[in-house]
Structure 1
Amino acid sequence: MAEDRPLSGPTAPLKPDTGRAGIVLAGGESARFPTIDKALAPLSGTPLLAHAVETLVPIVDELFVSCRYRQVEEFESVLSDFDVRFIPDRISGRGPVFGLRDTLSETAAAYAALLPCDMPYVPTAFVETLFTRARNHTGALAQVDGQAQPFPAAIHVRAGQDACTTAIRSGDPSLPRFIDELEPIVISEPEVFAHVPDRAFTNINTPDDLLDQQKRPL
């Protein structure tokens, strides 16, 4: 059954195809975090979700969090200092491409930055670089370990919606299929690491990952 989608925080309207949106994807089931939602797990005293939001806030005109309906109340609490709209999945449990399509449909911005809640070290300046490189393209993302990475990314909003829809209709609503359909430009690995430190692409996937990162200064 489709879920109602509450919104949080006033957002100034954008003219169609202008401005920038920021989207944090935080709707995963956190299966490997049995005692806490991964998005709420603290790193240096700050929830991972808030780290992601803080990365995007300085360079976007409006900010969205893609999540599940039951996450909204707790997410609102930890993000009370930010102007954020929460976009719960229409149907939960179908993966990030569905949530991304739902969220892209809520903005009139031309481009959107995409960031998952579990990448706390992505520099704001690198997301700005992705926005710059995405201009006049369907999107821009980074090559790491020889592969185009879905996050972080800057994408053209309408092209992103189309790529999500095509991937979903193909029966393969995966992030790799989404990238294939989007056909973004890919920043080469040497150029990427000229801009960012190695740990910029660290994912916090398990409690052990979090414990390991807690031992290191931000």
Structure 2
Amino acid sequence: MEQSSCTPVIAAGGKSSRMGRDKAFIPLAGKSFINRILARLAEVFTLPPVIITNSPAAYVNLKVQTEPDLLPGRGPLSGIQAGFYYSVSPYIFVVGCDMPFLQPAFIRFMLTQIQGYDAVVPETGGKLHPLHAVYSRRCAAAIEAGLAHHQPKAIALLSQLKVHYLRPEATAMHLLAEQSLTNVNTPADLAYAEAMVKHTGCL
């Protein structure tokens, strides 16, 4: 798949309740999460990113397209729905705003795996990562149906789709994948991320 066929979508509509502050703007190694994510996505995609957020004023200085959830408070599935609604490309790559260690090489590898599938979703240690995933526009109808039936969980949707569950530990990408899939939801997670930067040089 050509990178020009895929729109990067940053899901930033959550409440950050476990962190206690907006995760997108937490500083790490001198850059906020959102700036780190935007920089990494720019290394992969030619189409401009879309940030799905219900606080657009917070992002005005970034000069990036921001759009609201169509159904606020309905969880990650609503963010994916909005990603399709506000883009015209046949594919979207959706990532959470709490993933500051994105690895462009791993994302590019994921894009090569979509052929013949509706979605490519990493799976590590039995955990699925629907907010670090590639989705074909063929998923849009199933997402709409799930939301109409008040099913906000993205993982429940996957059972209705032809999904490539990508297990990076079985590939040469496993170390990059481990970094890319690191999400920071709590103060303890943030302390771990800061330690990663300090002790491993992970940027």
Give 1:196 deviation, angstroms.
3.6
In structure 2, the residue matched to 1:43 is 28
Which of 91, 101, 118 is matched with 2:81 structurally? 101
Counterpart of 2:155? 176
TM-score where L is the length of structure 1: 0.80
Q: Does 1:66 align with 2:52?
A: yes
The equivalent residue for 2:16 is 30
- Is the Cα contact below 8 Å between 1:25 and 1:65 reproduced in 2? yes
| Match for residue 39 of structure 2 among 47, 54, 60 | 54
2:189 aligned counterpart, secondary structure: helix
CA distance in 1 between partners of 2:77 and 2:158 (Å):
10
- Tell me how far 1:165 sits from its aligned partner: 1.0
8 Å Cα contact 1:20/1:62 also seen in 2: no
2:138 maps to amino acid: A
Query: Which of 124, 139, 158 in structure 2 is aligned with 1:160?
Result: 139
**Letter matched to residue 187 of structure 1:** L
CA shift, 1:19, in A, is 1.9
Size of the aligned set, in residue pairs, is 192
Aligned letter for 1:140? V
Cα offset, 1:189, TM superposition: 4.1
Is residue 2:169 matched to residue 1:190? yes
Give the residue type in structure 2 aligned to 1:201.
L
Q: In structure 2, what residue type is equivalent to 1:42? A: P
1:64-86 per-residue CA deviation (whole Å, 9 max, x = no partner) reads 11111xx2122222x24xxx211
Matched, 1:130 2:110: yes
CA RMSD of aligned residues (A): 1.9
Match of 2:189 among 186, 195, 209: 209
Aligned letter for 1:162? A
SS of residue matched to 1:143: strand
CA distance in 2, matches of 1:187, 1:215: 27
Distance (Å, rounded) in 2 between the aligned partners of 1:188 and 1:33: 28
C-alpha separation in 2, matches of 1:85 and 1:215: 32
Scaled by the length of structure 2, the TM-score of the pair is: 0.85
Give the direction of change, closer, same or farther, for the CA distance of 1:190–1:91 in structure 2 (3 Å limit).
Answer: closer
Q: Cα deviation per residue 1:88-132 (whole Å; 9 max; x = unaligned)?
A: 123422212112212211211111111111111231111111111
The whole-number CA distance in structure 1 between the counterparts of 2:135 and 2:83 is: 13
Q: Do 2:83 and 2:92's aligned partners in 1 also have CA atoms closer than 8 Å? A: no
Structure 1 runs of 4+ aligned residues shifted over 6 Å read none
Q: Contact conserved, 2:103 with 2:179, CA < 8 A, in 1?
A: no
Check the 8 A contact 1:167/1:181 in 2, yes or no: no
Q: Secondary structure at the match of 1:216?
A: helix
Q: Quick one: distance in 1 between partners of 2:180 and 2:43?
A: 18
- Tell me the amino acid that sits aligned with residue 21 of structure 1: T
Deviations 1:10-35 (A, max 9, x none): xxxxxxxx72200010111011232x
Equivalent residue for 1:19? 5
SS at 1:112 equivalent: strand
**Any idea what SS the aligned residue of 2:51 has?**
strand
